[in-house]
Structures are given as C-alpha cells and as structure tokens.
C-alpha cells in the first residue's frame, strides 16, 4: 500500500525536489480537484500543440513532455499525487481543510525558502548578493521546515488531504510513512549537492549537519554519499599495494601522495574522522601504506632513502589515529633517523682511517659492524664500504622485520624496523677509533669532499681549507690541511636551501637562500662581518633533487677573512657552539643585486629598523617573534629603460607590492610596505634592473611568530 508513496519520495529526494514538482510545473493549486485539472490540461495541451505561448504562472524552462508528465501525475494515482502536494504551496485561497491559517503559512514559508536555495544552487554563477542570500537561506529553510513538521496541525492537514483524495488505498499508514520519510527527503538534496561539489563541499556538508533532523541522520546520509570516495581510496590503495609488491616503493608512495591524500581531503569534508569511524579507519590504512613504502625504501637503498622515508612517515603520522599505528610509525621514524645518523658516523670514521693509511683497521671495524647488523636494513651499505676497501662479501640478505598480526590493509604485513642496534654498532666503531688516537684527515691526496650528494658524506664542520684557489676548484676534492697550520678558510656549516625533494626555484633564489643561511651560521659563531665573510657552493638545476634522487638540496658554507689573509693556526669554527635564541642578523634589504638580499620569506625583526635604513635591516629567525616578512622583489624597470620620475616609480612599486600581497593571500588583517629605487639607481647602476622590496606585517602591529600565512 505504501509503495507508490515510497517511489514518489525517492524520486523527489534530489536537488530537483521543487523544480519537477507537478503543481509548480502545471500552475495548479495543490487542492485542485480532478475536473479542474482536466480542463487546464486540455487547454494547455491544445495551446502547446499549435505552438502558442502558455503562461503557467512561473518562469521555469519546461517542455511539452515535462508539462504532460506533471498533469499525468496530478490526475494519476492519488498516493503519488499526495507526495507532490507536500512539497508545494498549501495556501491556495480555496482551502476547505479548516486548518488555522498559520499552518499553511508555516509550510509555505519553508517551501519558498528551501526551493529558493535549491534554485540558486542550480545556477552556474551567482552574484555576491545571491551568495549572501544563499548563506542565509540554508539555515532558514532548515529552521522553517523543522518548525512546520513539529506541529500536529501539519499532519492534520495531511490527513484531510488523504480523506479529500478519497482513495481506498490512502489511510493512516501513509501518514505514518510520510512522517518517517519526510526528514530524509528534505535533507537528501543538500547531501547530494555536498557530495557533488568541489570548492564548497565542506561548507555544504556543514549545512547538512546543522539541518534539524533526527539524531544521526545527517552523518548517515553523508557517509552513504561518500561511498564512491571510500571505494576509490580502496582501489588506489590496492594499486599502491601492487606497486610495492613489485618492489617500487616510490611508485606506491606517489599513488598515495598524488591521489589518495586528495581523496582523503574530500572525505574529511563529507565524513570527518572525528565523526565517522570508517574515515578514521581508512586514514589509518593509508598511514600504514605510507609506513610500508618508507620501510621498503630503506630496505632497498638504506640510509640513502632516509629523506623520502622520513617525509612519507611524517605524512603517515599526521593521518594515523589508531594507537598501534601511531606507535609503529613513531618507532620507524626513530629507526630511520638512527640509521642515517649511524651511517654518517661510520662513513666519516672509515674515511678517517683510510686517510691515515689504516685500511686494515677500517676493514676490521666494518666486519664487526656487519656481523652485528647482518640482515638489517642498511647492512648493504656496510657491504658497499667493504667492497670499496677490496673485501669480497656475499650477496645481500633480506632485512629482518617485525610483523604485527594486524594487517587489515591487505598488504604483506605491517612493517617495523629494528631500532637500537645501529646506534650500538656505530658507537662501537667510534670508540675503537678514539682509542686508536685517530684525528680528522680526509683523502689519500690531502683533499676533502665538501659537496657530496648528501651533507653527511662531507668533511665535518670545522675542516680547514688550505687555499682560496683550492676552494674555487672541484668541491669534491678541496685541498685541506690540519687546522694547527695556517689556512685560508674553514667549513662553517651545511645549510638547507630547499626541501628534499622539491621543485627547483631558480638559481637566483637558491643563491639568496645559501647566502642568507650561511650569514646566519657566521652570526651564530659570533664572527664579525667586518672581518670575516662566507663563500658557498649550492646545487644547480641539473643536480637539484626534484624527485627520484637521493641527493640533498643544501649549500656548503666556508668562512674566511674579508681580506683573504691566512687564518691563525687553530680552529676558528666551533662545531658545538649553541645557537642564541634572540640572535638577529643585519642585512641589506635593497641592494643593487637582488640575489644578495635575504630571500622571500625572511623575517624582519622590527619596523623602526627598516624605516631608518633599508640597507641595514635587522632580521630574526621566523620561529621567534618578529614584525614582518619579505614577500617579494618585483622587477619594475629593465636596465635600458629611462628614469620615469619619482611619482611613476612609487606607483609602479606600490602596485607590484600590492600584487605580491594578493598573490600570497593576505587579507585586511595585514598591511604591505614598499621600498622603491631612487633616481640614483639609474645614474649609478645603469646596467642593473630596478626593483622594489616588498614586506608585510599585521595591520594591528602585533608581533608575528612563524610565517604570515
């Protein structure tokens, strides 16, 4: 008996709930009797057949077939007609139900608000006023429908219509069915809009959760709407599993990073993990997938894969919620860090022994390490070192793993690296070398590597560079001398100039980052800038790690005297010197050479200092409280362009800095500031481009800690 009603409710429960309503399409009142409906149908049909314009009381774009369908519904099964009556206007002016006027008014206000919201959502573009209206309509429609459905008189009107339609298949059970299903039908269009949306998905899902509905209904409908996303995530995790089974952890991680994470963001909008256990579970499965990629990578290439493995595990840690998964990932993060640190220590110590001509000791120590770490991830690196020393070693064995029973992802076990062993074996080798009285000397020919693929493969901070000419040559074979002898420079630091991996930002940006970070390293050593300066080596675009490489994006800083005079016969650089938290660095913000300025994103300590002299600005590290941030160095004029006058230069600089602020996404809570070139730039440096220096700060002047964004 309830089937036509259920079918009608299912058909109505879409964003076209009101758009296809039979009474809205035909213009008939919801209490129209059958003779009235037939007369109007005959009239409208005749007019449509001869191509005449028909005024149905609305501006909907409908065709003859849709109008015919609507009339057939009104004149057809009364049970189906009753559904459309519920979702259009009751205050027809000819009502005989005896309801209080407020019953019809409350119902019609709900219909108008809800239908207007759905009509606006159906448009491709909305004006600002319409967007503001829509923001008000959704909560208003929910409030009005909630009020209408709570009134007993609402359901008395429905009972009156059941009696008026006078069909033996309509009785009180239909009223009960409608009472149960109305909340679902009213909420379903909004759920479908949220599931289909792109930019507004989260906003629409929030409106779903705010809609007055029975407890749990909104979350159930949203999770049901998210089912395609759940299935898609599962399918891509299976693809990643296949790549990992084929021993390609990079390809597996790329699927997760490039595809699955975006799908999880969409899921978080519809079914956030705090409210939906299914989302929390699939996030844990994704975290385990990344964990397995990281451990497989380290299994394959050892500490050379530590950079990517740490990145994947960092993402996994952000996703994981299950305590077992969190603990597993944390242990693997610690294990990989320990492996990388231990390998760096071992490599340095082996180079030290080789430099002293004690290859026999190096071989013996490495064999001890190999015996203790046999079968572990990273053991193949020890074998490579032994082979480099002329020792024959057998084919590598597979590393040992701990595989907890939990494995709901369907992957080949959840993997955890052993921790603790590498630290022990590295310290064993270190202790042996200390007992042997070894000092740091590198290379049989007296040269050191200061720019290997990773900073851990270089000579340590404090290594002494023999001559300026030696530094200017091959950075992989720089002549070195003991620091007890006079020398030209010292290794000051190895500083990051980009994430590993990351897109190459351009040589000028890399040069800026290298110069700025090396200057900070000099400041931390308390070496005055009027006496000492730094030179640096940084990766070009061809050697930049933009993915698929094990190299690090870093710069090597070497400090020397400004006048290039020899340094005294002792160490100038203290590798263990602690960083001062309140340290500032004075730099030129508007030098003739843009590349000599602090890079975009550098943090200005205070505005007063900038206002006084843009060529001597105090900078702070961005994790300390500061006034503002450098947001750009836009070029205004090419070298060949003539001086256009102060007003034109200022206008061009101000417009360029405004664009930089807009591109950064800064709103009214922030102010941008402009430093522009004067006429002397055209006379003194005609061959240089002219640019502005743009900074930004909070509008209220309060300090910033971290990035402005």
pLDDT computed for residue 441 by the predictor: 34
Average pLDDT over residues 49-63: 78
pLDDT above 90 for 374 = no
pLDDT computed for residue 422 by the predictor: 56
pLDDT computed for residue 411 by the predictor: 40
Q: pLDDT tens across 152-190, in order?
A: 999 999 999 998 888 888 888 899 999 999 999 999 999
User: Under a CB-based contact definition with an 8 Å cutoff, are residues 329 and 314 in contact?
Assistant: no
The token pair that represents 162 in the structure block: 């059941």
Mean pLDDT of the chain: 86
The token pair that represents 567 in the structure block: 């340094």
pLDDT computed for residue 412 by the predictor: 44
Q: Nearest 5°: phi and psi at 559?
A: -100, 145
**Coil, strand or helix at 243:** helix
Q: Model confidence at 432, in pLDDT bands (50, 70, 90)?
A: very low
Other CB atoms within 10 Å distance of the CB of residue 244: 23
Cα–Cα distance for residue pair 555/541, rounded to 1 Å: 13
Percentage above 70 pLDDT, the chain: 90
**Coil, strand or helix at 633:** coil
pLDDT computed for residue 74 by the predictor: 92
Q: Nearest 5°: phi and psi at 151?
A: -80, 130
Q: pLDDT tens across 15-33, in order?
A: 999 999 999 999 999 999 9
Least confident range from 67-81, 504-518, 576-590: namely 576-590
Least confident range from 370-374, 426-430, 471-475, 483-487: namely 426-430
User: What are residue 537's DSSP bridge partners?
Assistant: 556
Q: pLDDT tens across 252-284, in order?
A: 999 999 999 999 999 999 999 999 999 999 999
Average pLDDT over residues 102-106: 93
For 584-624, strand residue ranges (E) read: 584-587, 603-604, 617-620
Cα–Cα distance for residue pair 259/240, rounded to 1 Å: 10
Average pLDDT over residues 410-429: 53
H runs (alpha helix) in 122-200: 128-150, 152-165, 172-196
User: Under a CB-based contact definition with an 8 Å cutoff, are residues 671 and 643 in contact?
Assistant: no
Say what the pTM is. Answer: 0.55
pLDDT above 90 for 420 = no
Q: pLDDT tens across 327-352, in order?
A: 889 988 888 888 888 888 888 888 88
Please give the residue that has the higher pLDDT: either 550 or 313. Answer: 313
pLDDT above 80 for 311 = yes
Percentage above 90 pLDDT, the chain: 58
User: Under a CB-based contact definition with an 8 Å cutoff, are residues 551 and 454 in contact?
Assistant: yes
pLDDT above 70 for 397 = no
pLDDT computed for residue 187 by the predictor: 94
* DSSP secondary structure string for all residues of 636-651: EE-TTSPP--HHHHHH
pLDDT computed for residue 708 by the predictor: 79
pLDDT computed for residue 442 by the predictor: 38
pLDDT above 50 for 444 = no
Contacts of 622 (CB under 8 A, 6+ apart): 601, 602, 603, 629, 705, 706, 707
Average pLDDT over residues 353-367: 75
Q: pLDDT tens across 489-521, in order?
A: 999 999 999 999 999 999 999 999 999 999 999
Largest CA distance in the chain: 114
Angle at 123 between CA 53 and CA 229, to 5 degrees: 135
Q: How far is CA 677 from CA 263, 530, 641, 692, in A?
A: 47, 26, 14, 7
pLDDT computed for residue 394 by the predictor: 66
Average pLDDT over residues 597-615: 91
Q: How far is CA 312 from CA 253, 286, 327, 500, in A?
A: 8, 11, 15, 12
pLDDT computed for residue 672 by the predictor: 93
What value does the CA radius of gyration of the chain take, rounded to a whole number of Å?
36
Cα–Cα distance for residue pair 440/119, rounded to 1 Å: 77
Average pLDDT over residues 91-120: 90
Q: pLDDT tens across 140-151, in order?
A: 999 999 999 999
């Amino acid at each position: 008996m309830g089937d036509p009603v259920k079918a009608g409710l299912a058909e109505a429960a879409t964003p076209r709930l009101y758009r296809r309503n039979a009474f809205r399409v035909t213009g008939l009142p919801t209490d129209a009797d059958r003779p009235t409906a037939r007369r109007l149908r005959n009239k409208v049909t005749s007019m449509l057949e001869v191509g005449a314009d028909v005024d149905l009381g609305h501006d909907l774009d409908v065709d003859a077939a849709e109008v015919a369908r609507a009339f057939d519904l009104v004149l057809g099964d009364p049970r189906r007609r009753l559904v459309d009556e519920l979702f259009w206007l009751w205050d027809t002016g000819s009502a005989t139900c005896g309801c209080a006027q407020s019953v019809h008014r409350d119902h019609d206000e709900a219909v108008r608000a809800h239908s207007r919201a759905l009509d606006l959502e159906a448009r491709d573009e909305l004006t600002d006023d319409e967007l503001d209206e829509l923001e008000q309509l959704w909560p208003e429609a929910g409030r009005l429908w909630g009020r209408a459905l709570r009134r007993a008189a609402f359901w008395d009107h429905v009972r009156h219509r059941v009696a008026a339609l006078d069909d033996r298949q309509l009785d009180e059970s239909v009223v009960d069915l409608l009472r149960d299903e109305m909340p679902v039908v009213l909420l379903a269009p909004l759920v479908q809009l949220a599931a289909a949306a792109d930019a507004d998905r989260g906003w629409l899902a929030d409106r779903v959760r705010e809609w007055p509905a029975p407890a749990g209904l909104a979350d159930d409908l949203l999770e049901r709407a998210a089912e395609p996303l759940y299935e898609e995530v599962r399918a891509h995790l299976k693809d990643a599993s296949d790549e990992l089974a084929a021993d390609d952890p990079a390809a597996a991680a790329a699927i997760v990073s490039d595809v699955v994470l975006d799908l999880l963001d969409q899921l978080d909008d519809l079914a956030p993990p705090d409210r939906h256990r299914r989302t929390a579970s699939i996030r844990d499965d994704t975290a385990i997938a990344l964990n397995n990629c990281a451990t497989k990578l380290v299994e394959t290439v050892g500490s050379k894969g530590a950079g990517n493995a740490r990145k994947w595990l960092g993402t996994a840690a952000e996703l994981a919620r299950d305590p077992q998964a969190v603990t597993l990932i944390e242990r693997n993060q610690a294990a990989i860090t320990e492996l990388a640190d231990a390998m760096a220590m071992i490599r340095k110590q082996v180079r030290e022994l080789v430099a002293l001509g004690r290859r026999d000791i190096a071989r013996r120590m490495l064999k001890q390490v190999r015996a203790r770490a046999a079968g572990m991830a990273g053991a193949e690196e020890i074998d490579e070192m032994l082979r480099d020393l002329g020792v024959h070693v057998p084919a590598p064995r597979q590393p040992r793993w701990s595989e907890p029973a939990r494995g709901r992802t369907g992957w080949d076990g959840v993997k955890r690296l052993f921790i603790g062993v590498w630290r022990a074996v590295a310290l064993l080798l270190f202790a042996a070398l200390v007992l042997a009285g070894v000092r740091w000397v590198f290379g049989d020919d007296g040269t050191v590597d200061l720019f290997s693929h990773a900073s851990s493969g270089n000579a340590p901070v404090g290594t002494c560079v023999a001559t300026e000419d030696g530094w200017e040559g091959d950075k992989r074979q720089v002549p070195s001398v003991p620091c007890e002898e006079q020398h030209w420079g010292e290794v000051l630091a190895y500083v990051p100039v980009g994430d590993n991996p990351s897109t190459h930002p351009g040589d000028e940006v890399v040069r800026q980052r290298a110069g700025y970070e090396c200057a900070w390293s000099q400041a931390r050593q308390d070496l005055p800038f009027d006496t000492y300066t730094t030179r640096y080596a940084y990766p070009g675009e061809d050697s930049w790690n933009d993915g698929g490489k094990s190299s690090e994006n870093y710069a090597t800083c070497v400090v020397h005297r400004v006048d290039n005079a020899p340094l005294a016969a002792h160490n100038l650089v203290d590798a263990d010197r602690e960083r001062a938290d309140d340290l500032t660095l004075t730099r030129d913000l508007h030098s003739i050479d843009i590349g000599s300025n602090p890079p975009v994103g550098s943090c200005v300590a205070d505005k007063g200092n900038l206002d006084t002299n843009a060529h001597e600005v105090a900078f702070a590290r961005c994790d300390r409280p500061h006034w503002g941030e450098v947001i750009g160095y836009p070029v205004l004029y090419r070298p060949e362009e003539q001086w256009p006058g102060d007003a034109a230069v200022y206008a061009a600089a101000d417009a360029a800095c405004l664009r930089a602020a807009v591109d950064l996404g800064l709103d009214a809570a922030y102010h941008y500031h402009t430093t522009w070139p004067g006429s002397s730039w055209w006379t003194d440096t005609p061959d240089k481009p002219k640019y502005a220096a743009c900074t930004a700060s909070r509008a209220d002047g309060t300090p910033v800690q971290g990035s402005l964004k």
